[in-house]
């Protein structure tokens, strides 16, 4: 909520679950910044399933394999994983397609491997 570079800088609402961490002090802090707090309905475990799946994926595939040595290092790792997740990693829920993938080239083209974060994240694609 920092006025210069906070992650809620240009947002007016924060959607969160009913965890006790989001108690009265947290609500007051949000109100003081002009942000409306929207709590998810009770007994709705699948309401934020997509966000929970992304968090599980980034923990298992990236963050459990590195030891960040500072905030900048952690931010770079998260940005690299985000690019990998949306542009290179296939998703079973989408029929093993990419979320924001490019059109597939001809099948006769050689297959190349891309690496991110020193080889922790890898993906294969056909050469353009």
Q: Mind listing the pLDDT tens digit for each residue in 57-67?
A: 889 988 888 88
CA angle 67, 73, 75 (to 5 degrees): 115
Mean pLDDT calculated for residue range 60-87: 88
As given in the structure block, the two tokens for residue 55 are 């968090």
Stated pTM of the model:
0.53
Quickly tell me which residue has 């909520």 as its tokens: 1
- Residue 53 C-beta-side C-alpha neighbours within 13 Å: 9
Strands (E) in the chain, as ranges, are 13-16, 36-39, 111-116, 121-126
Position with higher pLDDT, 12 vs 109: 12
* pLDDT tens readout for residues 98-124: 666 665 555 666 777 778 887 778 777
**The CA-based dihedral angle spanning residues 39, 31, 78, 124, taken in that order and rounded to the nearest 10 degrees:** 50
Read off the pLDDT band of 2 (50, 70, 90): low
């Amino acid at each position: 909520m920092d006025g210069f570079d906070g992650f809620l800088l240009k947002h007016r609402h924060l959607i969160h679950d009913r965890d006790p961490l989001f108690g009265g002090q947290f609500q007051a802090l949000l109100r003081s910044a002009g942000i409306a707090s929207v709590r998810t309905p009770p007994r709705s475990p699948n309401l934020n399933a997509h966000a929970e799946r992304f968090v599980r994926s980034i923990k298992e595939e990236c963050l459990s394999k590195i030891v960040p040595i500072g905030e900048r290092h952690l931010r770079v790792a998260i940005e690299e994983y985000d690019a990998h997740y949306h542009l290179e990693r296939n998703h079973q829920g989408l029929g093993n397609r990419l979320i924001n993938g490019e059109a597939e080239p001809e099948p006769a083209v050689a297959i190349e491997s891309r690496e991110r974060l020193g080889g922790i994240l890898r993906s294969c694609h056909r050469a353009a």
